[in-house]
Amino acid sequence: MSVRTITSACLDIKDKLRLKLSIFLYNRLRLKTLIRKVSGHRPVRVMFYVNNLSMWKSDKLLLLLREDKRFQPFVVSFLYSVDSLNRQQELENEISAHFNKMGIEYRCGFDFEKNSLLPVSDFKPDIVFYPQPYRDKFRHLPSGVLFSYIPYCIEMDKTPHAANSLYQNICWKYFVPTEYHKQVKASVNYNKGANVVVTGSPISDYFLDGHVPSDDNWPLKDPKMKRIIWAPHHSILPDDWLDYSTFLDVADDMLDIARKYQDRVQFVFKPHPMLKEKLYRLESWGPEKTDRYYDAWKTMPNCSFANGGFVDLFMTSDAMIHDCSSFTAEYLYVNKPVLFLTRKESIGSFNEFADSCFRVHYHGASIQDIESFIDNIINGVDPLLDKRTRFISDTLMPSGKSSTAENIYMELCKIFD
């Protein structure tokens, strides 16, 4: 081992010890003081950062908090400076329109002139929910507020990018979907998962509350036409730490399939929000080819393009083809056939929970597999139905009689105890 390697290892150890000490002191001394301070406020100002609507799943919680006069919930947009100005403005418009329609207090959290986030202190919150607390923005967390965390997706990877982060260890409440996820945090995080609460996944509430979905995403209203979503992941670049995406392998073939089945199937192209920007940067694609490709899905008679939220889209579909880790759990709530498209026989980075979701998927690695799946959808063939139904009931449903939003709301009310 070289001197440089030894020195680097020593620095890593010192950094970890320093982090562990900071977490211990914060939780032992600072946290209790903050809880007492916030519990004395009326109303408690609860601030939710929102990246984009496809990652946002807590409308139900917002409405519960709004009905309780002890709380004042509000939303602040959380845009990334790495996105293009057009993309930032597009996201800002989508987010503001959604929450203004709901009648929820909304503030723009991004300074477009300086291309940076506004300070948290500008909004005077008591409790802050960050959506993705693992970026550089969170090296210097604001003082004087309580932090809470609802992961924007169900954790599916063995070594998630945000594992054992500072934020996870010092937030007051960390809400997870299942007992499995709580056990993982207890074994990995420095605080032994002391702040982790099992509530279910917020996305489940949208599918279980009797919501009547809109079918606006589907251009054709012919009931004989099957409705299939194609949702490719964004991990197409060589330096992406995830490698799920099969988009570059099947992009052209998927257009051919849409044409082949145009009299029997209508398709919605639902790419990950980050895919387009990455295709722009990819030498073999670039902006012109990417825009032309996206436009093809928007203009073909049996196809359309969907961006933003996906609950109504899922509920009005007949099936989905995808390679996205979070959808591996989230689409199961509608209990419809789903094909995971992969370059491998299995996903080696999946954790045990994700593996169990993966096992109630159909799997494909070729165009022939995709067409076979589509033919089964057309003919009503679904051999995994019973197995999938049992898994949803036994594993995915929120525990107890309360919804996920109600479970989280009741935990937040403990600030007044």
User: What does the pLDDT read at residue 300?
Assistant: 96
Q: What is the DSSP letter of 12?
A: H
- pLDDT below 70 — which residues of the chain? 1-12, 81-83, 133-141, 159-162, 344-348, 399
Cβ atoms of residues 176 and 185 within 8 Å: yes
Residues 226-396, CATH architecture: 3-Layer(aba) Sandwich (3.40)
Does domain 25-201+399-416 correspond to CATH entry 3.40.50? Answer: yes
pTM: 0.81
25-201+399-416 and 226-396 in the same fold = yes
3-state SS assignment for residue 306 = coil
Q: Where are the domains of the chain?
A: 25-201+399-416, 226-396
Beta bridge partners of 117: 110
User: What does the pLDDT read at residue 51?
Assistant: 85
The CA distances from residue 126 to 71, 214, 266, 415, in Å, are: 10, 36, 47, 11
Angle of helix 247-260 versus helix 367-379 axis, rounded to 10: 40
User: What does the pLDDT read at residue 219?
Assistant: 86
User: What does the pLDDT read at residue 345?
Assistant: 53
Q: What are 240-259's pLDDT values in tens digits?
A: 777 778 999 999 999 999 99
User: What does the pLDDT read at residue 270?
Assistant: 96
User: What does the pLDDT read at residue 89?
Assistant: 85
What is the helix (H) or strand (E) element at residue 76, kind and residue range? Answer: strand 71-77
Alpha carbon distance 174, 16 (integer Å): 21
The CA distances from residue 245 to 38, 88, 157, 278, 322, in Å, are: 44, 24, 15, 12, 9
